Chains A and B, each alone.
Chain A
Amino acid sequence: MESARIERLLDAYFEGNTTLAEEATLRDYFTQGEVAAHLESYAPMFQGFVKAKEEVLVKEVSFPESGFKIKGWWYSIAATFLVAVTVGSIVFSNSGLTDEEQEALAAIKETKEAMMLLSSNLNKGTENVALLNEFTKGTESIKHINQFTETKNKILK
């Protein structure tokens, strides 16, 4: 049964008319299962193809030196920089200051904030003082009224 199908595939195979799937069927038939006696002579061919595909390149292929060397250098520089920054930030941010010093820093910060609050309030005060100028302007306007009174008096005479 099966061998009839294989024979048909073989005919097409030798004419170059098989698809990859059909060729896979042939390969499987001749390398895995029982092969019919009259087809045995074809087996080495397909076994050979399978075996040929197992061959791999053992030797390591190397790329041109310069190209990779530069890249390697850059990686090491970047890595060193990263380590330096990390270590530096740990050393300088925490263990460099004692608890007392850190408390002092906090105190300075609070004082600063208090001063800022004070000065902003003070600024508000001066703004109010500036309003007094408006009052002066008002009194100047009153002077004009005086002039008007003078003129009026003259006319009435």
Chain B
Amino acid sequence: MPFKDKLYRLAKRLLVSSDEAEDAVQEIYLKLWNGRDRIGNYKNPEAFAMTMTKNYCLDRLKSKQAGNMKIVHSNFQNSDNIERQVEANDGVSLVFQIMETLPEQQRMILQLRDVEQYEFAEIAEMLESNETAIRVALSRARKVIREEMIKKYNYGIS
């Protein structure tokens, strides 16, 4: 499938862990495979797969929150995280860190627009929303990153 990397990146943006993102893509593939007779009915299979990924990841996040806090705690301690803290010295990693703090909707929009470069109409279709709402949320997300960057930079300098 030509857009598997895009699904993976969206899943990773939401779930953070690359293992979980891989599982998510596998799960989506399975669902697409089971419904492969029907996929021809969708005029945009890519957008459809993106919507499925979004819904799957949001469900995962919800069940994780409702479940135990232990997962969150152990996540905090894994080597992945330490690595990221070391990397955080450079601005690019800082951007990724700030992105992780954004609400899910804004994170997805930023991912789909600024990383994957989809048109607003496509994003609206994927996220089952409308273009105006997408633009507003995108503007908000971009401004948060700008402000956080300025804050951290100033803090680092002084």
Check if A and B associate.
yes
**Complex alpha-carbon distance, A56 and B18, angstroms:** 10
Contacts A16-B138, A64-B30; A59 near B22 (Cβ below 8 A): yes
Interface of B is mostly: helix
Q: Is the CB of B91 within 8 A of A49?
A: no
A44 and B95 form a contact (CB under 8 A): yes
Query: Using an 8 Å CB-CB cutoff, how does the interface string of A26-70 with B read, 1 for contact, 0 for none?
Result: 000000000000000111110111011101110101111001000
Which of B1-9, B43-51, B61-69 touches A? Answer: B1-9
Are the CB atoms of A47 and B117 closer together than 8 Å? no
Q: Which residues of B contact A51 (CB under 8 A)?
A: 92
Q: Which residue of A lies closest to B1 (CB)?
A: A61
Smallest distance from the beta carbon of A91 to chain B beta carbons, Å?
43
Residues of B participating in the A interface, judged by any CB pair closer than 8 Å: 1, 4-5, 7-9, 12-13, 22, 25-26, 29-30, 33-34, 90-92, 94-96, 99, 111, 113-117, 119, 135-136, 138-139, 142-143, 145-146, 149-150, 153
Q: Are B8 and A41 in contact (CB under 8 A)?
A: no
Q: How many residues of A contact B (CB 8 A)?
A: 28
CB of A17 to closest CB in B, whole Å: 8
The answer to whether B8 and A57 touch across the interface, beta carbons within 8 angstroms, is yes
CB distance from A28 to the nearest CB of B (A): 13
Assuming A52-B111, A57-B4, A62-B26, is B95 touching A67 (CB within 8 A)? Answer: no
Hey, which chain A residues are within 8 Å of B4, CB to CB?
Answer: 57, 61
A34 CB, nearest partner CB in chain B, Å: 17
Closest to A43 in B: B91
Interface check A73, CB cutoff 8 A: no
Chain A contacts for B1, CB-based, 8 A? 61
Q: Select from chain A the residue with minimum beta-carbon distance to B11.
A: A57
- Let me know if A53 and B26 touch, CB within 8 A: no
Kindly list chain A residues whose C-beta atoms are within 8 Å of the C-beta of B94: 44
Q: Are B115 and A53 in contact (CB under 8 A)?
A: yes
